[in-house]
Chain A
Amino acid sequence: MLESRRRSSRLILQIVLTVLVIPFVLPLVAMVQGSLAGAGWGNYVAVLSVPELPLFFRNSALIAVATIVIVYVFTMLAAFGFAKLHIRGKSFYFWLLIAALTLPEVVLLTPLFATMTSLNLYNTYWAVILPLSALQLPFTVLLARNFIDGIPDELIEAARIDGASTAAGFWYIVLPLTRPIGAAIIVFTLLGAWNDYLLPLVFLVDPSTQTITQLPQFFVGQFSNDQTKVLASAVITALPEVVAYLCLQRLFERGLSAGALK
């Protein structure tokens, strides 16, 4: 992108880059440092030996996986519909969906409580999964629609001339091509579901259904606050997300590069 034929200019680029990236790294260093203060690795031992940890982990994973499945399936169907099929008043429906991007969770707490209670879903995982998915869908549909838009019509038409149905075209042609944007959808949905604090707190009553975001609570009392273990739990909570991102990084970047957002 930038011209750096000479070694010296390349070095200058590298230095500029490093200086600029330092402010982004320092808070991460402070976090790890804080988690090792006081009892040192003992903080991690203490967090890992919270008896409920595996349970919280499982619950969070369950919610994340279910949310990802719903979001992925609904997003792909809708994005294909919006990008490649005939719908009268398409932009109206699209905007109806996209406008929901602006809804913050905190606005929805009271109405969602009424809804979940009347559907008998309060205190089930659904009370968390459904709103999470509904809030995630507008963004992922936007991403995926733009991506599928970029798939040449000819590819799908070729399949249709061969006698395949729309569904087959979707299944055999579109879906395999959307793996990169699928990775992006998975990463964004995982972040949303895994990091969510408010919905599990309000809608899951049972102590056995608590999620990983409640973990720091074990080290914060009314009149006590063990910051070192809070930070250690933060690191442990964040690890699966970082790992998931690293695993999907390549696909993720490709997904966003095919003109996902423009």
Chain B
Amino acid sequence: MTISSRAAEQTPITRPDDDRAQEGGAARRRSFRRPSGYAWILPALVFSVGLLYYSVGYTGYISTLIWNGTAPDVTHVGLANYAKAFSDPVFWLTLQHTAISFVVTFSISTVLGFVFAALLHSRPWFGGLYKVALFVPVVLAPAIMAPVFRQIFANDGQFNWLLTHVGLGSLAQPWLAQSGTALAVILAITIWGGTGVSFILYFAAMGQLDPELLEAAELDGAGNIRRLASIIWPNVRGTTLALATLSAIGALKTFDIPYLVTVGGPNFATEFLGTLIYRTSIPLGAVGYGAALSILLLVIALAMAIVLNAGRNKRGARTDA
């Protein structure tokens, strides 16, 4: 902020706008209401797109090599790394986990976020405190929380202790040790850290709803549940779709939580594309194979972005009409 304000002092931006015509011409006049914006988006594009797309291109090149990332000797192997990925059962397993992760974390975070938003809009006591409690998990890095969760879900951890003390002792089990439950724990941690975002976005969206709409429903005698389901929920659909996109991207990028809590185990039960790429590229030093997996991740991500966006546009068109 300070940088921008200093810039303002140095540049006389209030001078009359006299040199516009010379570069504008007819095109400019036609779009008088919309001056050209290339110069404005250029820094971000050059910077972000430049750096990241260059990296993607470079990754594409590496994916055709057998290489440890730094050694001078490289072997060109064409598409062999991709063939290897498709025949690697762990790769398919990670896709399955990603899909499960998306469906579970998206639905639970969305429902919870929506309910919290509705409850906190109903003027409870100490609303601010509840908001902070929900958002602090978003603030904390997975690296900070990983040891805490490992402790909580250990065989003699707080979660089993709690189950035993509320009379559900028969459900107590070594959560992180079993292929079947480890993934559930990873998803629970993801939901814990992500619900704050869903909540805050729904909370914001509900604040924008037309009060008349709600009053009309009240006169109608609609009950709370019906009101939530048939009036509020359809009106925050935009937020729900945005959250779907964010959750899908988040599921594909999953890395920290499974890496730090279960190291992808036991027995690949919590392996995700991110952890597989890291393990392949860094400890195993197979940078070429890791790059091929990275490119596959990007292809999937792009395909998904296109599908989600297409669905969104269609829906948007329908409601606008």
Contacts and interface: CB of A to CB of B under 8 A. Distances in A.
| Direct contact between A and B judged by beta carbons closer than 8 A | yes
Nearest to B159: A26
Interface string A217-240: 000000000010011001001100
Contacts of B136: 28, 242, 245
Contacts, number: 288
B130 A137 contact: no
Given A103-B52, A134-B51, A163-B16, A93 B122 contact: no
Contacts of B281: 106, 109-110
B249 A110 contact: no
B59 A85 contact: no
A182 B246 CA distance: 20
Contacts of B45: 78, 93, 96-97
Given A2-B224, A245-B139, A111 B120 contact: no
A14 B112 CA distance: 15
Contacts of B85: none
B148 A245 contact: no
Contacts of B140: 234, 238, 241
Interface residues of B, number: 108
B238 A85 contact: no
A104 B37 CA distance: 29
Interface in A48-93: 69-70, 72-75, 77-78, 80-82, 84-87, 90, 93
Given A81-B40, A115-B54, A245-B139, A104 B48 contact: no
B48 A97 contact: yes
Contacts of A194: 141
Contact of B294 (A20, A78, A107, A138): A107
Contact of A85 (B35, B55, B145, B232): B35
A230 B146 CA distance: 11
A27 B144 contact: no
Nearest to B157: A30
A45 to B, nearest CB: 20
Contacts of A2: 118-119, 121-122, 224, 227-228
Given A75-B44, A107-B59, A197 B137 contact: no
Given A74-B47, A104-B252, A262-B241, 11 more contacts: A2-B224, A13-B119, A26-B158, A104-B297, A110-B290, A164-B17, A165-B17, A167-B13, A238-B139, A256-B204, A261-B246
Nearest to B122: A2
A261 B239 contact: yes
B308 to A, nearest CB: 11
A135 B52 contact: yes
B70 to A, nearest CB: 8
A249 B20 CA distance: 41
Given A86-B31, A131-B51, A107 B277 contact: yes
A141 to B, nearest CB: 6
Interface string B294-317: 100110011001000000000000
B122 A110 contact: no
